[in-house]
Structure 1
Amino acid sequence: MVVKIYLYHYFDKTIGPFVNLSELSIDEAKSILNTLKVTRPNSQCAQRHDKYVEYRHNCESIIRSEFKKKGGIINRKSPHYMVIEHSPWLSTWFENGTFIRIPIEEFDSMTISFTYGDSMPTFSPTIHDGREYRKKLYTYDEILKIIEKYGLPQDWNDDGKNGPERYIEAHVWSDETIDKYR
C-alpha cells in the first residue's frame, strides 16, 4: 500500500512562510527573538532561551555535516524546516498560526534530511536515553524504515510526556520547491 506523505511548514501568517533566523547573523537573530519576546509573548518562539541561536547554529552544523556524509545535496547554508505530516503541537506555536502542506514528491529527496524528533534534542549532549534514533540523521529511505518501526511521534507523544520527540523534522537544503510556496 502506497501512502502519500506530506511535509508541513508552520508559520505566523503576519510574517510569512520559510523565514529562518539561521539565515541572519547571531546578533540580528537575537534581536528578532528579543523583539518577539515583547511583541508576541504567547508564541513558542518567545519562550526560547538566550543561547538558542548559538545552539541552533551548532545543530545545523552537525546535521549539514552528517547529511554530506550520506551523499545529500546541500544548496543552502541553513535548511528550511518542515515536518512529516500534521503536528497538532506545532500548530499551536504561533499567535497567528497557519501552515503550508507540500507533497514530498515535489522535492528532490536527495535535498532533504530528517531527524526522528526535533534536531535540537536529537543531537543534544544532555539527552542520553539510549533510543535508537538519538544522535542520528536520516535520508528519506532511512526515515521511512524508522517510521515503519516507531510510527509518527505526534501519534504517540504529541503532549511530550514520553520524551522530546513530537514530530519528525525535515531539513530542506534547497530553495527549488520552497520558492513555489513563498
Structure 2
Amino acid sequence: MKNESIQPPRFSSALDPIPDYLTHYFERTAGPFLNICDLDDEEVQKIREFELSNDIKWSRFKMWPEFMKSRKAADDLLMRLYEEKFQKSPAHRPVFAVLGDFHEIPCLYANPGSVRIEIADLREDEVTFMYPDHAHLIQFFDHDAPAFGVPLPENYSEERMPCWGKLFTYQDLHEIHVEYGIKKAIERCLNTPGSFVFSYVEAHIWTRDLKFTPIDHEPTGKCKKA
C-alpha cells in the first residue's frame, strides 16, 4: 500500500477518455476489499442491523428485504460468466468497484471510505466490467431469486441493448463502448434522479493481491436522507 493519499476527483468520470483507474468504496467500520457473500449469517446480520440503524440514503436491506438471497444469486451468475470468458474458475468472489469514480456511491454507506487502484497494476483476468451492474443478471438469466437493482427492460433485445448480460475486459471496453452505446447512456443518466445504476460502469476485482492508494474525503452530508 502506498502511504500518501489522494483527493477524490472533482467530477464523475465518463468514458471519453476511458479512465485508467478504479475506485473501490467501502464501509469504514468493516474495511475494504470484502464481499458480503463471503460472510457467515451472524456477520451479515450485524451488517444488516448496522445499516438499518443508520440513516443511509440507499440501504440495500431496506430496499430489498431478501437482499442476501438475491445478491448471492447475482454473484454466482457473475462468477459463471467469468468462468465462461476465461475458461477457468475464479479464485475468489469478486470485490466490487467502479471504473473511474462515481460521486453517488458513498451514499450506500454510513461512513464511506474509498481507495484508488490503477488498472495497469492488474492482469486482464484480474479485473472485469459490466454495464449496468451485475444485479440485472438475475432477470437476464431468468433466475428464481428475487429481482433487485435495475430491472430488465420489458422491451429488451440484444440488438437494442447489446451490453446486457455480458462481461468485459478493459480491452473490450476500449473496443465496444461506443458501438454498444455505454458512453452515451452514462452521459444521459448521470445525475438524473432514478438513474443511479446507469451512471457508472461496474468493475469486479478478482484478486486479493492489490496495490492501492487511499482517497481523502471531506464530509458533505449530501448522502443523508432529508
In structure 2, the CA distance between the partners of 1:52 and 1:120, relative to structure 1 (3 Å rule), is: same
Give the aligned partner of residue 98 of structure 1. Answer: 113
Shift of 1:85: 0.8
Shift of 1:15: 2.6
1:111, 1:173 within 8 Å by CA — same for their partners in 2? yes
In structure 2, the CA distance between the partners of 1:72 and 1:155, relative to structure 1 (3 Å rule), is: farther
* Comparing 160-169 and 2-11, the one that deviates more: 160-169
**Aligned sequence identity (%):** 19
- Mapped pair 1:6 → 2:21: yes
Instruction: Determine the C-alpha separation between the residues in 2 that align with 1:173 and 1:144.
Output: 20
Instruction: Determine the C-alpha separation between the residues in 1 that align with 2:131 and 2:63.
Output: 21
> What is the identity, as a one-letter code, of the residue corresponding to 2:200?
Y
2:19, 2:100 within 8 Å by CA — same for their partners in 1? no
Instruction: Determine the C-alpha separation between the residues in 1 that align with 2:26 and 2:137.
Output: 22
- Mapped pair 1:20 → 2:50: no
- Mapped pair 1:145 → 2:175: yes
> What is the identity, as a one-letter code, of the residue corresponding to 2:210?
T
1:152, 1:168 within 8 Å by CA — same for their partners in 2? no
> What is the identity, as a one-letter code, of the residue corresponding to 1:24?
L
1:113, 1:139 within 8 Å by CA — same for their partners in 2? yes
In structure 2, the CA distance between the partners of 1:152 and 1:64, relative to structure 1 (3 Å rule), is: farther
1:114, 1:168 within 8 Å by CA — same for their partners in 2? yes
TM-score normalised over the length of structure 2: 0.67
Instruction: Determine the C-alpha separation between the residues in 1 that align with 2:25 and 2:34.
Output: 11
- Max radius of gyration: which structure? 2
Name the count of aligned residue pairs: 179
Give the aligned partner of residue 32 of structure 1. Answer: 46
Give the aligned partner of residue 189 of structure 2. Answer: 157
Give the aligned partner of residue 56 of structure 1. Answer: 71
**5+ residue gaps, structure 1:** none
- 1:51-108 Cα offsets, whole Å, 9 max, x none, are 11111111111111111111166221x1100110111221322232231111101111
Instruction: Determine the C-alpha separation between the residues in 1 that align with 2:114 and 2:184.
Output: 19
TM-score normalised over the length of structure 1: 0.81
**What secondary structure sits across from 1:75 in the alignment?**
coil
**5+ residue gaps, structure 2:** 1-15, 143-150, 215-226
Give the aligned partner of residue 168 of structure 1. Answer: 201
* Aligned-CA RMSD value: 2.8
- 1:119-147 Cα offsets, whole Å, 9 max, x none, are 10254345133311112222222223333
Give the aligned partner of residue 152 of structure 2. Answer: 127
| Relative contact order, higher structure (CA 8 A, sep 6+) | 2
Instruction: Determine the C-alpha separation between the residues in 1 that align with 2:170 and 2:34.
Output: 24
